[in-house]
Structure 1
């Protein structure tokens, strides 16, 4: 069985015992988190929500928090001898899918 969930403005296809990285969640490592925004459940029978399924959720365990690789943002304006260099590291949370309800 699989489900398509939404968290952090992004959609993920998840299965039981899968480990994924999502945008940072406010939860301590080892805590259980319930994600309620389930767009679709699949398996023997497919259920599709409009936009979300009622009475469906995904239970996850927070494994750890981290930060991704640095992304360099470089702007240069021609003929002005002007430039701007910025870096960004996105925070993420690693979660393990325990159950699809």
Structure 2
């Protein structure tokens, strides 16, 4: 059983128990987040329609925040004595996929206070 989820404008294929590194999310470590499913498939059934997709639930837990590898950039102009060094490290969040399930009915809407 797997699902295609959308996180931060990118799509990822996830299964239960997978570890996923995505762009930084504004969630604390240990927080549970619900990911937006785009497709759900288990051996018999495939769901990618809007109404049936609301019945699919993908939960993940934030296991930590990390920084990616440093990317070094060098710009130069030949014969001009111009060089410029620049570096960049991406801010990342590691997610642990906890549960992927298809509900028998639509989830109830949360009440606003």
* Cα distance, 1:26 vs structure 2: 0.6
Gaps of 5+ in 1: none
* Cα distance, 1:28 vs structure 2: 0.7
- After the TM superposition, which parts of structure 1 deviate over 2 Å for at least 4 consecutive aligned residues? 53-57
Structure 1-normalised TM-score?
Answer: 0.87
Structure-2 separation of matches of 1:13 and 1:89: 24
Give the alignment's Cα RMSD to 1 decimal: 1.5
Aligned equivalent of 1:41: 40
Structure-2 separation of matches of 1:6 and 1:100: 14
Gaps of 5+ in 2: 102-113
Structure 2-normalised TM-score?
Answer: 0.78
* Cα distance, 1:75 vs structure 2: 0.9
Aligned equivalent of 1:78: 78
